[in-house]
């Protein structure tokens, strides 16, 4: 590990691990390696609770949760939903007001932006946003084309817009914020895969991986200092502002590495997480 501010006693006391998926847990083919899968199973047998936190919709996390035998609530859509894979435990669900969703749809049409409405299990888009499923980085999601958004406005957890004109996204973002609306969080990110594409994500205020972490540790009765998080991308920054133990992979963005307690020597495509998982196993065995 290149950077390690954490001594062995702190690592030995880890009770909960929250893992980002794409770019962290999963390799570049979207798979969990056998070695990481086995290490997670060993840690679970040692009493460590493990769950996932992702920008994905809930339904696209379930297969990985089943593969890893994770029964804890899963954090999806960057904290807009906290729900277990069986659906019988819902800790948090932050739906966006219908007036805001309708306004975003009108603005997206005005500024010639692609738009999708993210629900728990699928993403709705229309004919004007026909390329959205190809360029939106919500791996594993079910995309459904609709003639009209109207019957799908209710239960929207996240609004996503994308395009190659960042200024149009910024203008849309301003018109969704105060003084036009309150209680809304809007962020713009660049694409991992397409250098000229940016994304706008609009959620109810308070929906972040960090706030989801706080809700989850309260539910599980685990202390923040006994929690470890691992990530690689901009949406992981809120988790890296908490007092949890923060682990960044070699492929993580620089802003995340500056906040990390531990920086691993390998990337997600080189089983980077295995380094820290094996370390914790050795300390707890």
pLDDT over 70 for what percent of the chain?
99
Q: What is the pLDDT of residue 3?
A: 67
Q: Residue 4 pLDDT > 80, yes or no?
A: no
Q: What is the pLDDT of residues 200-251, one digit of tens each?
A: 999 999 899 999 999 999 999 999 999 999 999 999 999 999 999 999 999 9
**Mean pLDDT, rounded, for 130-143:** 86
How sure is the predictor about 23, in pLDDT bands with cuts at 50, 70 and 90? Answer: very high
Domain boundaries, the chain: 3-93+207-284, 98-204
Residue 202 CB neighbours (<10 A): 25
Nearest CA-CA partner of 169 in 113, 127, 106, 99? 113
pLDDT tens, residue by residue, 177-205: 888 888 999 989 888 788 889 999 999 99
What CATH number does the domain located at 3-93+207-284 have? 3.40.50.1000
Per-residue pLDDT at 43 exceeds 90: yes
Where does the pLDDT of residue 140 fall: very low under 50, low under 70, confident under 90, or very high at 90 and above? confident
What DSSP designation does 184 have? Answer: E
**pLDDT above 80 (res 2):** no
With beta carbons less than 8 A apart as the criterion, state whether 9 and 244 touch: no
Q: Tokens representing 213?
A: 């972490």
Residue 55 pLDDT exceeds 80: yes
- What's the whole-number average pLDDT of the chain? 94
Q: Could you read off the pLDDT of 265-281 as tens digits, one per residue?
A: 999 999 999 999 999 99
pLDDT tops 80 at residue 76: yes
Class assignment of domain 98-204? alpha beta
**Across 58-74, average pLDDT:** 96
pTM for the predicted model, two decimal places: 0.92
Provide the pLDDT for residue 196.
Answer: 87
Segment 161-176 mean pLDDT: 93
């Amino acid at each position: 590990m290149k950077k390690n501010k954490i001594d062995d006693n702190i690592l030995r006391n880890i009770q909960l691990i929250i893992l980002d998926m794409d770019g962290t847990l999963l390799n570049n083919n979207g798979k969990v390696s056998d070695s990481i899968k086995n290490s997670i199973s060993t840690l679970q047998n040692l009493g460590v609770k493990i769950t996932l936190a992702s920008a994905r919709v809930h339904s696209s996390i379930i297969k990985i949760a089943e593969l890893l035998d994770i029964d804890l609530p899963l954090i999806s859509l960057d904290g807009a939903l906290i729900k277990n894979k069986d659906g019988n435990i819902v800790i948090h669900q932050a739906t966006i007001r219908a007036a805001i969703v309708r306004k975003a749809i009108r603005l997206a049409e005005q500024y010639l932006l692609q738009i999708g409405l993210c629900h728990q299990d699928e993403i709705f888009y229309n004919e004007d946003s026909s390329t959205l499923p190809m360029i939106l980085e919500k791996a594993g999601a079910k995309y459904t084309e609709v003639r009209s958004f109207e019957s799908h406005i209710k239960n929207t957890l996240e609004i996503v817009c994308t395009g190659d004109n960042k200024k149009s996204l910024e203008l849309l973002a301003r018109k969704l914020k105060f003084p036009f609306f309150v209680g809304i969080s809007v962020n713009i990110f660049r694409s991992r895969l397409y250098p000229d594409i940016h994304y706008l994500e609009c959620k109810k205020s308070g929906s972040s991986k960090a706030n989801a972490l706080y809700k989850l540790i309260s539910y599980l009765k685990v202390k923040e200092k006994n929690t470890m998080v691992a990530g690689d991308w901009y949406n992981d920054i809120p988790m890296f502002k908490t007092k949890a133990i923060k682990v960044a992979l070699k492929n993580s963005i620089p802003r995340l590495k500056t906040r990390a307690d531990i920086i691993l020597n390998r990337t997600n495509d080189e089983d980077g997480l295995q380094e820290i998982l094996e370390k914790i196993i050795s300390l707890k065995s």
